[in-house]
């Protein structure tokens, strides 16, 4: 599986919300959840589905030797009545998880791009649907428009085979479709059914599935992220007459727009000139020892920022 021009996306509610809007979908947003709590999920109704980010290990999540999933069961027949696509591009899993939810919720106003795509692939099998996503210029360009610039990556260098020791992360979708709870993972051969499920039962039942999945990881593993795809909260609060909450949501949207603008920028030139000035100042005022102390201080501060960012990004699981 290659990247073939698809960049990685950050697991961020603001990124995913604006990505969905860029496809032309109306009245949908993404909310990050910080706990495995059915009540938190239920508070986001109307809830369309969940996107789950986790560290991928082939040994833990590949089908068993008998060819069955480790939880739930493959539902081959359901693929004729729902959207499921196999993943053909390594970095496409975030957008593919989003599409797995949007294209399975008939009540959503998808807009011309996804409506036409859904109609075009309706008679395809999951393998061909995956190829169609990979070859869709519109979907790929929209996806890449939300990725961080990577000026130092050599695209000509062949990718090595990934191992369980690598920090590889994967997005999948959970969505209630046709009265069942489905796990839609493009790296699996088929959609996985977790039994009967209504929209009202979804928050409680999906948490049970997620808890079983997380329990298969070593104790202490907390690198998970859960994103809820729900109705635009501004519309929900406006219908309730809660205009204070509407104002908070508008402020949050403004922050998302600002952050997404910064994500698209390439700051290499700026960073180079800042470092050049800082190093010149340090050397002029203290020589080599002062420069080395400044480097060590910068490493400590950088590590502290990374640890703090990780605490904010990954939710903790408490059994």
Point out the residues that are catalytic. 93, 170
Query: Residue 194 half-sphere exposure, CB side, CA atoms within 13 Å?
Result: 23
Q: Residue 180: name the closest of 148, 153, 163, 205 by CA.
A: 205
Q: Residue 235: name the closest of 45, 106, 50 by CA.
A: 45
- Residues 85, 186: contact at Cβ < 8 Å? yes
**Distance separating alpha carbons of residues 188 and 184, to the nearest angstrom:** 8
- Residues 191, 78: contact at Cβ < 8 Å? yes
Question: How many DSSP H helices and E strands does the chain contain?
Answer: 11, 7
Query: Residue 269 half-sphere exposure, CB side, CA atoms within 13 Å?
Result: 2
The torsion angles phi and psi of 151, rounded to 5 degrees, stand at: -70, -15
Three-state DSSP at 249 gives helix
């Amino acid at each position: 599986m290659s990247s073939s021009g698809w960049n990685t996306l950050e697991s961020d509610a603001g990124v995913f919300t604006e990505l969905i809007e860029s496809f032309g979908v109306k009245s949908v947003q993404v909310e990050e959840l910080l706990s495995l709590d059915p009540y938190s999920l239920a508070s986001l109704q109307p809830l369309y589905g969940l996107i789950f980010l986790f560290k991928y290990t082939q040994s833990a999540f590949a089908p068993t030797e008998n060819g069955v999933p480790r939880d739930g069961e493959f539902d081959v027949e359901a693929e004729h009545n729902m959207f499921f696509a196999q993943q053909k591009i390594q970095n496409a899993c975030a957008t593919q998880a989003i599409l797995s939810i949007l294209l399975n919720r008939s009540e959503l106003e998808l807009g011309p791009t996804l409506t036409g795509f859904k109609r075009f692939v309706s008679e395809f099998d999951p393998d061909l649907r995956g190829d169609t996503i990979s070859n869709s210029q519109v979907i790929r360009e929209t996806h890449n428009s939300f990725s961080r610039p990577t000026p130092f990556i050599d695209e000509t260098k062949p990718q090595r085979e990934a191992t369980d020791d690598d920090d590889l992360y994967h997005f999948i979708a959970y969505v209630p479709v046709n009265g069942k709870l489905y796990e839609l993972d493009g790296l699996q051969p088929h959609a996985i059914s977790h039994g009967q499920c209504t929209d009202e039962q979804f928050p409680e039942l999906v948490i049970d599935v997620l808890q079983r999945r997380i329990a298969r990881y070593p104790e202490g593993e907390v690198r998970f992220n859960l994103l809820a795809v729900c109705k635009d909260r501004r519309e929900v609060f406006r219908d309730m007459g809660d205009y204070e909450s509407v104002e908070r949501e508008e402020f949050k949207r403004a922050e998302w727009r600002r952050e997404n603008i910064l994500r698209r920028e390439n700051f290499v030139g700026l960073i180079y000139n800042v470092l050049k000035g800082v190093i010149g100042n340090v050397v002029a005022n203290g020589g080599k020892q002062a420069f080395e102390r400044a480097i060590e201080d910068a490493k400590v501060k950088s590590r502290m920022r990374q640890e703090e960012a990780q605490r904010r990004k990954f939710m903790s699981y408490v059994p």
